[in-house]
Amino acid sequence: MYGWAGQRLRVDLTTGEITKEPLSYEYRRKWIGGRGFNSEVMYNEVPANMDAFDPRARVCFGTGPMSGTAAPSTGRVTVTCKSPLTGGFGDSNMGGHWGAEVKYAGYDQIIIQGRAKHPVYLWIDDDKVEIRDARHLWGKFPRDADPMIKQELGDEDIHIMMIGPAGENMVRFACAFNDVWRAAGRTGTGAVIGSKNLKAIATRGSGTVKIADPKKMMDVCNRLRQAFKTDPMKIGLNMFGSLCLINVANRDGWFPWNNFQFGSHPLANNVSGESHAETVLKHREGCFACPIACGRFTEIRDGKYAGETFGGPEYEHAVPTGPRCGIIEDPNDVWHNCRLTNDYGLDAIECGGVISSAMEWFQRGLITTKDTGGLELTFGNADATEKLIHQIGQRKGFGGILAEGADRAADKLGLPKEAHYYTITTRGMTLPGDDPRGLGFGYGLSFAVGTRGGCDHLRSLCCLELSGALYPGLNTKLLGDESANKPVTTNGKSYMVYYEENQKATTDCLNVCCFTTHWSYAVLTPDQVEYLNAATGLDFTEEEFQEVGERVVNLERAYWNKLMSGAREDRVPERFLKEPMPENGVDYQTNIGATLPLNEMLPQYYKYRDWDSKTGFPTERKLKQLGLENVAKDLAPLRSKYLSEAEKKNVKYYV
Amino acid sequence: MAIMNKGQAKKLIEQPDKMLDVLNYLVEKKIISDDEQRATLLKGFSKLVEVLQEKKVINAKAAKAAMQGGFASLLETISA
Amino acid sequence: MSEQKKLIYNNEICTGCRSCIVGCSLYHDGECGKVVSRVAIVRNEQHGESFVVGCDGCTDAPCAAVCPTGACAMDPVAGITKVDANKCIGCKECANACPFGAINMHYKTGKAFKCDLCEGRDEGPVCADWCVSGAISYETPTIAMKAKRREKLNERLKAAKVGEEG
C-alpha cells in the first residue's frame, strides 16, 4: 500500500487484548488520517456524556499518509481524547520523530482503551506489541524515564511517547510528549493517558513508507525544500525559534502581560528569540523531515538556575508562566518555569493561565493568602509562580485546586461569578499568548468557535493576518482582499477563518506541520495535493482536500453540540470585547484602544459554515453534503432542546 | 460583461467580508452554479476568477487585474 | 586532477531533523525510511545532541580493503568507494570495517549499500542539498577547512569589538 500503512493498532489495557484493524480504502479516502481518523473514532466510540477518565474512554494517536515521508515536516502526531479540562472534544498535536517511527512500525493510528491494573508502558517493535511493567518509571520526569526505557530495551535509537507526573496525577491540563520534550500540550491528553495507568509507548519501526510515484514525489518535495531555503518565515523561525514573535507581539499589542490586562511591556525583548539566541541557546533542533528547524535547546548559564537544560521553549511555552504572570525582569526565571512545565508534563499555556488568573483574583481581593497557603500571588512574583508549578504538578496545596483548571477552581473556592471574568477561557480552556485585540480579529473569531474548546489559536491558525503580509498577493489569491493581511481589521476575516480552519484540519489529517502551511506559506494547498497524490497514487483534487477538513470540523462541532454547547457558548473572554487595549509604556504599540468586534464577524461565519445561527449547529443540509448522515440523525432531536428555556438558563463555563 | 450596476457593486465593496455575498449574487443571477460556488468557497478567490474567465464574463486582462486587485478590481469590471 | 568534493559533517550544528534521511532513501530506493538511507542520525534526546553518520570518503578506505570479492571498491572519478551489488556476497565485513558505521545491509537483498554521492544528481548529494543547517555540506576539504579557520578568526574579531565598545 502506498502512503498509508493500512492498519490501526488497538490496545485494551483492561483485558490486555491487542488487535490490528485494517483500514479500508473508503475510510482512508473519507478521513485521510491523523486528526481525521481520531475524530471519527471519538465521535463513534466515546459517548459525548462519558467522563474523560472513564476506563472505556479512548485516547487516539494518529499519523497520516505523509508521515515518515520526504514531504516537508512529516513527523507530527495528533493525540485525541475527551478533554478532562473542558469536558468536550479535545486534541493536541506534537512534533518530534515518534510519529514517523509509528508509521515505520506499520501503523496509521494507535487507539488505547481500558485501564491497566498498575502502571505499564507499551513496547511496539514493528508487529510485535507488548505491555510491560512501568511501576519503576511512575513518578519520573520524562527526561529521566526516557533513557531508562531505552536502556531496558537495549536500543537508544527508539522513540517514546510519554507523560510526566502531572499526567499520572491526572492534572486536568497535563500533556503528552514524545522524544522527551516535544509536547502535545493542550486539552489534558496527558491526564487521560495517566488515568489509564499508561506511562509511555516505546516504538521501534524498521519499515519504510512506500511511494506510488517516487519521481513525482522527489520533484515536489525538492521544489518545496528549495523554496524554504529563502522563505522569510523559515529564516526567522530557524534563527530565533517561535520566540521570533515576541517583539512583533509587543509592537502589535498581543503580548500577554498580567493576565491580558495589557498587550505590551517595555522589557519584552528580555524573552525574545534574539535575546534567547545570544544568551541561552545551546542547539537549534528540527522535527522529522523539517526544512525549518524552529526547535530550541536551552541551557541556563548563570544565576540560581545555572546548569539547567531543556528542549524548547516555544513562544507559547514561554509567555504563560512568564509575562502573563508579570515575570520579565530575569529571563532565567521564565526559562526555568518552562523546564518545570516540561518536567511535570503540564500544558504550559493552561498552567500559566490558571496561575495568572489566580494572580488577578489576588489582585482584586477575591482570594487572599488564606486561600493560597501563604503564597503572595502578586504579578511578577517569580518565586510564588515557581512554587505553584510544583504544587500543580504534584496536586498539592493551593496548586492542587488550580490543577482542576481555572473555572473549576473558581467554583471549588466558592468565588463569586465575577471570578470567571478573569479566567480568560472559552468552553473552559484558556487562550495562548495571542491577545485578539492585537492578533488579530481573525484569531479572535476562531477563539469563539474552535472545536477543541475555544481560545485556541490552532484550529484556524489564520496566519494570513500575521505572516500573510510577507507573501504579497496571497490574501488576494485566497480571499480576494489583500487588506485582510492586517490583524486589526474585520476585512475578509469571516471567510479567512472558514478557509483556514478547513485547510488546517486537512493538514492535521496528513499530520504534516502547519508551520509549513500556516506560518510559512511556502507550501500551499495545491502543493499538498501534489505530494499526497504522488505518495498515495490517488487523485485528490483541491476541492476534495479542503472538503475533508470541512468534514472533520463539522464532526467535531457536532460532538460539542451533543453536549449542548453551541451558539451561546461561542464566546470570547469578555475582557477582549469590553476593555479597550490600554497603553503600557511601549510608545510604538499599534493597537491602543482596540477591542475585538466579534459580533461583526460571527454571523457571517455561521453563514459560510452553513450552521444555524440560533443554535450554532451545522444544518442538516451541510451534514448530508459532507456524508455525515448519522450525525444529522444524532443532532435532529437536540436542536429544539438546545433552544429550550431550561437549556438557556444552563450557563456553562466548561461542560 | 456588466452583471450588476455601480450601486450594487458599491454596496458589496463596502462590506468588510465580501466573498459570500458576491457568490450569492452570482448564483442568484445564474452567472455561476451552486457547484461553482461550492468550489470557490473551498478553493478561494482565484477559483472564482477562473470560473468567470471560463464563462467569458471577464476577459484575460480583467482576470489578471482581479488577481492583483481582488474584489475591488473584479466588481469594478463586472459592474456598469 | 583537481581536488574532489566530499561530504563534510559538522555535528555541532546538526538539528537532528533527518531531512537527509528521507531525501536519501527516496532518491535511491523510491521509498522513505531510515533503513534504506545511506546517511544516519544518532541523537540523545535528553541532552539535545545530534551526530551525523555518513561516508567520509576515505582515501585508504577500510571498506574496500576488507572486501573479499572486490564488490566494494574505490571509484577514482567520484572519489568515493561504491558497492557493486552484483559482486557483493553480503558478508558484512565492510560494514564492520567502517570506523563510522556508515555502511549497512539492505533489507531487501541482504547486500551492502552505501553512499555514492548521489551519482547523477545535478544538484549534488540530496543530504547536503536538503540539510537545513549546513551540518552536511558538499565541498572540497580545502574549502571546508578555510571556512573553519576563518570561523576562529571571526570569533576573535567579534570578541575584540566587544572590548572596544566596553
Q: How many domains does chain B have?
A: 1
At A284, is the secondary structure helix, strand, or coil? strand
- CA atoms of A438 and A486, how far apart (whole Å): 10
Burial A419-448 (b: 16+ CB within 10 A, else e): bbbbbbbbbbbbbbbbbbbbbbbbbbbbbb
By the 10 Å C-beta count (0-12 exposed, 13-18 middle, 19+ buried), A269 is classed as middle
At C105, is the secondary structure helix, strand, or coil? strand
- CA atoms of A139 and A129, how far apart (whole Å): 24
The conformation of residue A269, written as its DSSP 8-state character, comes to G
At A9, is the secondary structure helix, strand, or coil? strand
Residue C11 falls inside a structural domain: no
- Which of A180, A204, A228 terminates a domain? The answer is A204
pLDDT at C98 over 50: yes
A409 in the same domain as A458: no
Let me know: does A624 contact A55? Beta carbons within 8 Å: no
Sequence-ordered list of residues with C-beta below 8 angstroms from that of B76, at least 6 positions apart, any chain: B9, B69
Q: How many domains does chain C have?
A: 1
Sequence-ordered list of residues with C-beta below 8 angstroms from that of A187, at least 6 positions apart, any chain: A81, A83, A85, A86, A90, A91, A92, A173, A347, A429, A452, A453
At A95, is the secondary structure helix, strand, or coil? coil
- What's the confidence (pLDDT) of residue C165? 47
C134 touches chain A (CB under 8 A): no
Let me know: does A579 contact A591? Beta carbons within 8 Å: no
Residue A223 falls inside a structural domain: no
The conformation of residue B80, written as its DSSP 8-state character, comes to -
Phi, psi (degrees; rounded to nearest 5) at A396 = -120, 155
- Looking at the DSSP bridge assignments, the partners of residue A124 are A129, A203
Interchain proximity A288–C42, CB inside 8 Å: no
Sequence-ordered list of residues with C-beta below 8 angstroms from that of A483, at least 6 positions apart, any chain: A475, A489, A491, A492
Interface size A-B, in CB pairs within 8 Å, comes to: 74
What is the domain range of residue A263?
237-429
- What's the confidence (pLDDT) of residue C1? 53
Residue C122 falls inside a structural domain: no
| Residue whose C-alpha cell reads 574549502 in the numeric block | C143
pLDDT at A215 over 60: yes
| Residue whose C-alpha cell reads 552536511 in the numeric block | C136
In CATH, what number is assigned to the domain containing residue C92?
3.30.70.20
User: How far does C118 lie from chain A, in Å, by closest CA?
Assistant: 13
pLDDT at A144 over 90: yes
- Which of A372, A394, A429 terminates a domain? The answer is A429
Q: CA-CA distances (angstroms) from residue A254 to A337, A437, A575, A598, C143?
A: 21, 7, 13, 16, 46
What number of H helices and E strands is found in chain A?
28, 18
Distance from chain centroid for Cα A572? 18
Record the cell numbers describing residue A326, joined without a space.
508579570
Beta strands in A522-651 (DSSP E): none
Let me know: does A59 contact A115? Beta carbons within 8 Å: no
Distance from chain centroid for Cα B17? 13
Q: Which residues of A touch C23 (CB under 8 A)?
A: 70, 221, 225
A292 touches chain C (CB under 8 A): yes
Give the residue from A543, A551, A611 with the most B CB atoms within 10 Å of its CB, the best one to mutate: A543
- CA atoms of A87 and A77, how far apart (whole Å): 22
Give the residue from B13, B14, B17 with the most A CB atoms within 10 Å of its CB, the best one to mutate: B17
Chain B residue with minimum CA distance to A481 = B70
Residues 565-604 of A with CB under 8 A from B: 600-601, 604
Burial A98-126 (b: 16+ CB within 10 A, else e): bbbbbbbbbbbbbbbbbbbeebbbbbbbe
User: A343-357, A492-506, A591-605, C138-152: which range is least confident on average?
Assistant: C138-152
At A90, is the secondary structure helix, strand, or coil? strand
- Backbone dihedral region for residue A307 (phi beyond 0: left; psi -120 to 50: alpha; all else: beta): left
Nearest to B19 among A489, A495, A525 (CB): A495
A55 in the same domain as A127: yes
Record the cell numbers describing residue A54, joined without a space.
472513564
At C32, is the secondary structure helix, strand, or coil? strand
Round the CA-based radius of gyration of chain A to a whole number and report it. 23
Q: Which residues of C touch A290 (CB under 8 A)?
A: 15, 17, 19, 132
pLDDT digits (tens, 9 = 90+) for A89-121: 999 999 999 999 999 999 999 999 999 999 999
pLDDT at A28 over 80: yes
Percent of chain A with pLDDT over 90: 98
- CA atoms of A158 and A170, how far apart (whole Å): 27
Chains B and A touch (3+ CB pairs under 8 A): yes
Chain B residue with minimum CA distance to A442 = B17
C51 touches chain A (CB under 8 A): no
- CA atoms of A229 and A241, how far apart (whole Å): 16
- Looking at the DSSP bridge assignments, the partners of residue C75 are C80
At A302, is the secondary structure helix, strand, or coil? coil
* Interface predicted TM-score (ipTM) of this complex, two decimals: 0.98
Residue B10 falls inside a structural domain: yes
Residue B1 falls inside a structural domain: no
Interchain proximity A285–C48, CB inside 8 Å: yes
Residue range A13-40: mean pLDDT, rounded: 98
Residue range A190-200: mean pLDDT, rounded: 98
What is the domain range of residue B60?
6-77
Let me know: does A111 contact A8? Beta carbons within 8 Å: yes
Let me know: does A504 contact A549? Beta carbons within 8 Å: yes
Nearest to B43 among A475, A491, A546 (CB): A546
Q: Which residues of A touch B41 (CB under 8 A)?
A: 498, 608
- What's the confidence (pLDDT) of residue C163? 53
Residues of chain B falling short of pLDDT 70: none
A317 in the same domain as A419: yes
Beta strands in C10-144 (DSSP E): 31-32, 40-44, 49-53, 72-75, 80-83, 104-105, 112-113, 136-139
CA triplet A582, A586, A592: central angle to 5 degrees?
Answer: 30
Residue A221 falls inside a structural domain: no
A366 in the same domain as A395: yes
Record the cell numbers describing residue A293, joined without a space.
528547524
Interchain proximity C31–A97, CB inside 8 Å: no
Give the residue from A476, A499, A554, A600 with the most B CB atoms within 10 Å of its CB, the best one to mutate: A476
E strand or H helix that includes residue A38: helix A34-45
The conformation of residue A465, written as its DSSP 8-state character, comes to G
Q: Which residues of C touch A100 (CB under 8 A)?
A: 18
- CA atoms of A179 and A193, how far apart (whole Å): 17
Residue A476 falls inside a structural domain: yes
Residue A212 falls inside a structural domain: no
Residue A637 falls inside a structural domain: yes
| Residue whose C-alpha cell reads 463513534 in the numeric block | A44
E strand or H helix that includes residue A110: strand A109-113
Residue A34 falls inside a structural domain: yes
Interchain proximity B42–A498, CB inside 8 Å: no
- Backbone dihedral region for residue A345 (phi beyond 0: left; psi -120 to 50: alpha; all else: beta): left
- CA atoms of A272 and B64, how far apart (whole Å): 41
A462 in the same domain as A362: no
- What's the confidence (pLDDT) of residue C147? 84
Residue range A319-329: mean pLDDT, rounded: 98
Residue C92 falls inside a structural domain: yes
pLDDT digits (tens, 9 = 90+) for A534-548: 999 999 999 999 999
Residue C64 falls inside a structural domain: yes
At B51, is the secondary structure helix, strand, or coil? helix
Closest CA to A395 of A381, A378, A412: A412
- CA atoms of A169 and A172, how far apart (whole Å): 9
- What's the confidence (pLDDT) of residue A650? 83
Interchain proximity C17–A289, CB inside 8 Å: yes
Interchain proximity C48–A297, CB inside 8 Å: yes
pLDDT-derived band at C166, boundaries 50, 70, 90: very low
- CA atoms of A508 and A90, how far apart (whole Å): 14
- What's the confidence (pLDDT) of residue A653? 77
Provide the residue count of chain C: 166
- CA atoms of A382 and A95, how far apart (whole Å): 29
Angle between helices A142-153 and A331-344 (to 10 degrees): 50
Let me know: does C37 contact C24? Beta carbons within 8 Å: yes
A497 touches chain B (CB under 8 A): no
Q: Which residues of A touch C107 (CB under 8 A)?
A: 206
Q: CA-CA distances (angstroms) from residue A388 to A186, A326, A337, A350?
A: 19, 15, 10, 13
In CATH, what number is assigned to the domain containing residue A298?
1.10.569.10
Nearest to B18 among A476, A480, A498 (CB): A480
Q: How many domains does chain A have?
A: 3
On average, the pLDDT of chain A sits at: 97
In CATH, what number is assigned to the domain containing residue A198?
3.60.9.10
- CA atoms of C140 and C144, how far apart (whole Å): 6
A600 in the same domain as A452: yes
Position A328, amino acid: I
A484 in the same domain as A406: no
Let me know: does A231 contact A260? Beta carbons within 8 Å: no
Closest CA to A100 of B5, B43, C34, C2: C34
Q: Which residues of A touch C131 (CB under 8 A)?
A: none
Residues 507-546 of A with CB under 8 A from B: 525, 542-543, 546
User: How far does B15 lie from chain A, in Å, by closest CA?
Assistant: 8
Interchain proximity C32–A207, CB inside 8 Å: no
Q: Where are the alpha helices (DSSP H) in A323-381?
A: 331-344, 348-363, 369-372
Residue C69 falls inside a structural domain: yes
Q: Is the pTM of this model over 0.90?
A: yes
Span between the terminal Cα atoms of chain C, in Å = 51
Round the CA-based radius of gyration of chain C to a whole number and report it. 18
pLDDT-derived band at A634, boundaries 50, 70, 90: very high
| Residue whose C-alpha cell reads 502526531 in the numeric block | A77
Chain B residue with minimum CA distance to A478 = B44
C130 touches chain A (CB under 8 A): yes
Q: Which residues of A touch C26 (CB under 8 A)?
A: 69-70, 211, 214, 217-218, 221
Residues 532-591 of A with CB under 8 A from C: none
- What's the confidence (pLDDT) of residue C149? 84
- CA atoms of C97 and C116, how far apart (whole Å): 18
Phi, psi (degrees; rounded to nearest 5) at A155 = -155, 115
Subunits with at least 3 CB pairs below 8 A relative to chain B?
A
Interchain proximity C25–A208, CB inside 8 Å: yes
- What's the confidence (pLDDT) of residue C164? 52
Q: Which residues of A touch C162 (CB under 8 A)?
A: none
Residue B61 falls inside a structural domain: yes
Interchain proximity B43–A498, CB inside 8 Å: no
Nearest to B17 among A492, A543, A547 (CB): A492
Residue A186 falls inside a structural domain: yes
| Residue whose C-alpha cell reads 504538578 in the numeric block | A393
- Which of A395, A429, A463 terminates a domain? The answer is A429
Residue C116 falls inside a structural domain: no
Closest CA to A142 of A100, A178, A104: A178
- Looking at the DSSP bridge assignments, the partners of residue A129 are A124
Residue C65 falls inside a structural domain: yes
Q: Which residues of A touch B74 (CB under 8 A)?
A: 480
Q: Which residues of A touch C19 (CB under 8 A)?
A: 70, 225, 286, 289-291
What is the domain range of residue C73?
58-100
- CA atoms of A104 and A555, how far apart (whole Å): 29
Interchain proximity B19–A493, CB inside 8 Å: no
Residue B16 falls inside a structural domain: yes
Residue C159 falls inside a structural domain: no
